Structure 1
Amino acid sequence: MTKVTDCLDCPLRSRPLFVPMTESELAFQRRFKAGERFIPAGGDIILQGQKSSSLYTVLSGMAVRSVMLESGQRQVISFVFPGDLIGLQSGIMGEAQHSVTAVTDTLLCTFPRERVWKLFRNQPARAYDLTWIAAMEEHFLGETVATLGQRDATQRIAWALVRIWRRLVAIGMNDGGSVPFPFRQQDLSDALGLSVVHTNRVIVALRNDGLARIAGRRLEMLDHPRLSRLALMDMEKEDVRPIL
């Protein structure tokens, strides 16, 4: 039987991206966590329209959130990384309005839905963190809408690559100037409202311009400042955030 990771030994908790927990918060977190769930690459973590009895924090691995439209077309809402919370919508509303699919082998910390109310009753600071996470997700979706409406194709892809790069660097996944990039061009296309052909052309152009390279399931950042300017983004760091 695989050993469950103790919150004391969480490899993410010590990363500078995440707000440190107090001793009492950590003790509650250890009681709040019910176990772990392994999802192989390609497996569904949450299915659109179904109920979920748990909330999850991604301990390792990556995934995509997506909505399937009545036409059969898929819209990728966001990419999911270690430290992200999954299932809050279905955990609170009772039914998921989107799916979450693992793109790599993914390990999840599980939190039973019914224990969320204990969090609000007994740990107001942790409850505030949960509210903050929901607010940040809303902010990100607003930024995504602005990107789809106001950035051209090259700027959209530059924006997505910078966002992914910064997040993975912030959790220590930078290795020799590159980070893991398990997403398909189809995933980028479905997220950014572009065709796969157009997405491929832009990625090739970014490589030829010495800005970024995607190869061997890795993203290499060749010129972060210039790619950020192209994406119409400031050279800011990732916001420090709570982790559940």
Structure 2
Amino acid sequence: MRPLPVFAGKLIDVSVVQTFKIGELTVAPGASILLEQARASHLFTVLSGWAFRYKTLEDGRRQIINYALPGDFLGLQAAMSDMMGHGIEALTDTVLCVFPRDKLWEFFAADTQLAYNMTWLAASQERSLDEQILSLGRRSAIERVAYLLWYLFDKARELGMTKRNRLVMPMRQSHLADTLGLSVVHTNKTLQKLRKAGSIELDDRTLRIVDEQALKTLARVDEVQNPPRPLI
């Protein structure tokens, strides 16, 4: 049995969620969850696994916007407009909770706590996009890499996905490069600099943060603390 989602110390009313849930979907690595410029009839919550949001140019160049982990809500943009402005792809075997798009407003009305939780998730996603814009526009290459590694580690740690201060990261260096707006070669060299600085260890896609404060200082992490995020 899956654990009950908690927000601010309160259990979410699972019976309400079950009323709108129409099933679960398992998606293989590399498979599309939502397509760019497509109309989505379903919305999703990530139950397990990793996925990423992205946009592509006509010539195939891709920008990864951010990463989705358990508890993240996918497809809210499609609920507000007819078409998805970005795509979502699974990085690992990913299990999704499926909701019908046309029932979203009933879903909001059924439980004010759930409506607030979804608003919280949307606001948190907006804040992560602020940091992504800052990275692409003003952070140096090493600051970009340091921030992304710390951000993913901290987000996963909050979900209990780290073990002995280690996180298995399923993305390749090409994913990191597409996130950071760097070439794969530049990304590789920058990772090597971080390793030599002694703040991280990254071997076989397993990240260990050796000196978190040094990594945060290098990444220019905003120390504003968020409350625990909700799971829907």
Q: Do both share a fold (TM > 0.5)?
A: yes
CA distance in 2, matches of 1:221, 1:93: 40
Question: Is 1:108 matched with 2:96?
Answer: yes
Q: Which residue of 1 aligns with 2:25?
A: 37
Question: Is 1:201 matched with 2:193?
Answer: no
Equivalent residue of 2:30, what SS?
Answer: coil
Question: Is 1:154 matched with 2:142?
Answer: yes
CA distance in 2, matches of 1:110, 1:36: 6
Aligned residues: 232
Q: CA deviation at 1:61?
A: 0.5
Q: Which residue of 1 aligns with 2:169?
A: 181
Q: Indicate if the aligned counterparts of 2:8 and 2:227 stay in contact, CA closer than 8 A.
A: no
Deviations 1:15-39 (A, max 9, x none): xxx444446x332112122110000
User: Quick check: 34-43 or 134-143, which moved more?
Assistant: 134-143
Q: Please, what TM-score do these two structures have when normalized by structure 1?
A: 0.89
AA at the equivalent of 1:86: L
Equivalent residue of 1:111, what SS?
Answer: strand
Task: Find the partner of 1:240 among 225, 228, 231.
Answer: 228
Q: Indicate if the aligned counterparts of 2:23 and 2:98 stay in contact, CA closer than 8 A.
A: yes
CA distance in 2, matches of 1:208, 1:104: 29
CA distance in 2, matches of 1:207, 1:157: 11
Task: Find the partner of 1:67 among 34, 47, 55.
Answer: 55
Equivalent residue of 1:159, what SS?
Answer: helix
AA at the equivalent of 1:198: H
Q: Please, what TM-score do these two structures have when normalized by structure 2?
A: 0.93
AA at the equivalent of 1:168: A
Q: Indicate if the aligned counterparts of 2:199 and 2:211 stay in contact, CA closer than 8 A.
A: yes
Q: Indicate if the aligned counterparts of 1:225 and 1:235 stay in contact, CA closer than 8 A.
A: no
Equivalent residue of 1:56, what SS?
Answer: strand
Q: Indicate if the aligned counterparts of 2:5 and 2:11 stay in contact, CA closer than 8 A.
A: no
Q: Which residue of 1 aligns with 2:179?
A: 191
AA at the equivalent of 1:10: R
Task: Find the partner of 2:5 among 13, 23, 33.
Answer: 13
Q: CA deviation at 1:237?
A: 5.5
Unpaired runs of at least 5, structure 1: 1-8
RMSD: 1.8
Q: Indicate if the aligned counterparts of 1:181 and 1:214 stay in contact, CA closer than 8 A.
A: no
CA distance in 2, matches of 1:166, 1:58: 18
Equivalent residue of 1:175, what SS?
Answer: coil
Distance change in 2, residues 1:209/1:57 (3 Å): same
Q: After the TM superposition, list the runs of 4 or more consecutive aligned residues in structure 1 that deviate by more than 6 angstroms.
A: none
Unpaired runs of at least 5, structure 2: none
CA distance in 2, matches of 1:237, 1:12: 24
Deviations 1:18-75 (A, max 9, x none): 444446x332112122110000111111110111111111111001110011232101
AA at the equivalent of 1:191: T
